[in-house]
Amino acid sequence: MPALKRFKDPPKRTLNATEKKDTRSKDQRKSRPNLIERVKIVLGGRYNIGLMYILSGLFILFIMFAFYLYQRSRLYTKLNVGSASSQYDNSSMIRFWGSYRPQLYFGMRHKGQKSLVTGLMWFVNDNPNGQVQLRHECSMADKLPRYGWYSHDGLSFGRQRITDFGFEVKTDFVTRPIGNYGGDWSVRVSTAVLPGSPKNREITLLFYVGQEDAGGLFPEFDDEYNFIGVTGHSDKLKNFKIVFRDSKNGNLRIRRYLATNTPYFHSMKDFVLANMRPIRSENNIRHYGLFDGRSENDPSRLHSNNLILYQITGRIPIEFEVIYESQSANNFRGYTLSDNALTHLIKTKQEEFNEKFERRFKLKSMGFNDEYIQFGKAALSNMLGGIGYYYGKSKVTSEFFTDGTDYFEASLFTGTPSRSFFPRGFLWDEGFHQLLISKWDLELSMEIIAYWLDLINAEGWIPREQILGDEARSRVPSEFIRQNNLIANPPTLMLALHSIQTELEMKDKKLSGNHRLYFQSLFPRLHAWFNWFNSTQKGNTPGTFRWQGRNEAAINELNPKTLASGLDDYPRASHPSIAEAHVDLRCWMTAFVGYMHHLAVTVDKRKEAMYYGRQFLVLSDPLELDRLHWSPLTETYCDYGNHTKFVKLKTVSNSQSQTQHTIRIVSSKKGPSLRFVHHFGYVSLFPFLMHLLPASSPNLKKILQDLNKPELLWTDFGLRSLAKNDAFYFKRNTQNDPPYWRGSIWININFLAVRALHYYRSVKGPYKELANHLYVQLRNNVVNTVFKEYQRTGYFWESYHPETGRGQGAHPFNGWTSLVLLMMAENY
């Protein structure tokens, strides 16, 4: 066996000058260093690569955490583009005071975070049960026969008539912007017995003045120690006085006041009821008077007064005036706005209102009679009288704040859909409101839109419902207060902005001066808003869009609601999924990108104009729209999603709690699948409503033909929201959730339909005559429906029943229902 070859030992390496010889013993070298020694080794440079990895990891974690905090904070951080509305707060006092508390039957306040607030209350003394039924906040529960503004200019003047049972209350106000702090205003409140009612009725009227701002209110008295008014001071108003002057007709029986302190301006009705006491009874009539209900030890007695109430009780008719005067205007006033001077100014303002109304809408020259003209004035006046001013923080949620957090503080000057039921700002409603308001007062509309776009956050999101401040929050159920940052609302503000810009460009094509600056200030906000839509509401398939927020787990609903769309319970795909594509949202986005291209060109944003131009070419392509949303089976535009028509609600009993509830079940073994969603209604009309179809399109012809079919949408009162032959027509969504957008006639969509018919009857195409025929009929039907119900009930309504034309839902509803005036005037 050959011997194993022995390898030579490697030669010893000579250490260079920078290296040290290891002088440790063999045992020392075998032993592992402790933690301190390891650190020393690392710091000494033996493990530089390991240190680099550790530091790199820590740096990445730091960056990730910083990015998390940044993303988290964007929810409640205002978009960093300055303020578009500040110019209206600081440069003019012309709209400083107004009837900006629309949730009350009557109330005045000024713009600003902390305001001097006023309000009217009343009750009759002959209530059979002896209880005080106090009127203050507009409420459907009061069941008043009618109330509303019949003249209001949105600027400095308003007249309102409130019909209670057997009598009426009238409120007139005028403002006079003189001096440095908003100027003066005067209010007249009068009462009268209605024909056929008892003439000896007694009423108690109360008017309060409250100070939200730091400062104080002090009662004023004449030489005989009779209460005559209030003096006060605040940071916003400086020094002012308020004088009360009551009627001298001998009908007054009680005259009282209360000076006190309260933090609860959002619950004034409860506060006043707690401070009313019976003071005497005569002829089975119990009289009540204001009484300071605080104990002697109540700590609020140590504070200065921030609330003063004035009460008069007497036999109808009685009246009083409230005259507010700013001390800064003492050298400019000339005369006090009371008595004959107030009467004269109200008459002058009324004449000016009548003349401007005819100039703007031309109803008399179009042949409308006096009843229709008064109806038109009421539509406009109640829209303007519904404008309010709010300040506070919204409650918002996101993936980072599932339990909610505060949005940034903001003020909002806005129209409201309903003084009794929705006395706050709604995003998609406001675009419709401004279509009318801009035809009356362009600058007022521009101001309101600026306030809305100042609500946009760093993400580009605007909460769809604005519940700002304690007073607004007190009217909303807690489960509806929080707004999620993925939930959109149709961008209707761009409809109003397009209308405003078009009107301005007719006078000045390139826009100049303040108007140009205005649109330049809005552009970055609208740009951020569009990008938010384009990123958060995009669908899975290129070119599609999906309303976020449908609840896949809502198995108790026949069809999970799509609140973001504004159409709430309108039937969509039976089973919500990420594969959904909503045709109405694609149409909104097409109209939005078209306006943004127009605006970018106007304000010289060339790069953005090219971007929006390319987007518009893609989205406005009718062939692509047809590929994604036209169903060859029904020849209608449809949503797309995971859907089956075989769904129904089933009642299930709970044996333990002895209760019943409903769940949605699929009655077919096949189940849902990806397909077109065949429900014909408002959603199917959106390509037509947004003027996206070529005038020669056969799809346009099909839509026009379908519009005229009574078994689908056509009625003598307007277009139904859902086809009469649809399985969901007037079906409840849950056992406690009645149908909402499942057949009722809604005036905002009917307005868009009338406007679209007007457009297609005006452009060259083969269907002009058909569009004109439908236009004339639909316009007449809608106008007459709203007019007849106003005459019958005294109210504009949220929606109308398709079988009877009767008003339904919230009332008065002078949001988009007031668009009937634009249909009358044919001003689109």
Residue 206 and residue 189: Cα distance in Å, rounded? 10
Catalytic-residue membership of 798 = yes
313-to-240, 252, 800 alpha-carbon distances in Å: 27, 6, 40
Contacts of 765 (CB under 8 A, 6+ apart): 694, 695, 696, 700
Contacts of 691 (CB under 8 A, 6+ apart): 756, 759, 760
80 burial (CB, 10 Å; 0-12 / 13-18 / 19+) is exposed
676 in Cβ contact with 631 (< 8 Å) = yes
Identify the helix (H) or strand (E) that includes residue 636: strand 636-637
375-to-32, 37, 53, 824 alpha-carbon distances in Å: 95, 92, 77, 11
Residue among 782, 817, 783, 811 at smallest CA distance from 366: 783
Identify the helix (H) or strand (E) that includes residue 309: strand 307-315
Q: Could you give the count of Cα atoms lying within 13 Å of 757 in the half-sphere of its Cβ?
A: 24
Tokens 């990806």 belong to residue: 674
Residue 120 and residue 137: Cα distance in Å, rounded? 9
585 in Cβ contact with 547 (< 8 Å) = yes
Burial 28-56 (b: 16+ CB within 10 A, else e): eeeeeeeeeeeeeeeeeeeeeeeeeeeee
Identify the helix (H) or strand (E) that includes residue 109: strand 109-110
Residue 74 and residue 617: Cα distance in Å, rounded? 32
468 in Cβ contact with 391 (< 8 Å) = yes
Q: Which tokens belong to 367?
A: 């042949």
Contacts of 63 (CB under 8 A, 6+ apart): none
Contacts of 584 (CB under 8 A, 6+ apart): 490, 565, 567, 682, 683, 686
Catalytic pick from 568, 621, 624, 737? Answer: 568
Residue 146 and residue 618: Cα distance in Å, rounded? 50
Burial 300-330 (b: 16+ CB within 10 A, else e): eeeeebbbbbbbbbbbbbbbbbbbbbbbbbe
Identify the helix (H) or strand (E) that includes residue 341: helix 339-361
Catalytic pick from 447, 459, 580, 798? Answer: 798
Contacts of 355 (CB under 8 A, 6+ apart): none
Residue 213 and residue 232: Cα distance in Å, rounded? 11
Tally the residues of the chain: 828
The total of other beta-carbon atoms located within 10 Å of residue 10's CB is 6
Tokens 């107030």 belong to residue: 342
70-to-58, 66, 479, 486 alpha-carbon distances in Å: 18, 6, 28, 17
Catalytic-residue membership of 569 = no
Q: What DSSP line would sit under 760-815, residue for residue?
A: HHHSSSTTHHHHHHHHHHHHHHHHHHHHHHHHHHS---SEE-TTT--EESSSS--S
Residue 472 Cα to chain centre, angstroms: 11
- 317 prior amide bond cis, ω within 30: yes
Give the distance between the most distant pair of CA atoms in the chain.
Answer: 144
For the annotated catalytic residues, the residue numbers are 568, 798
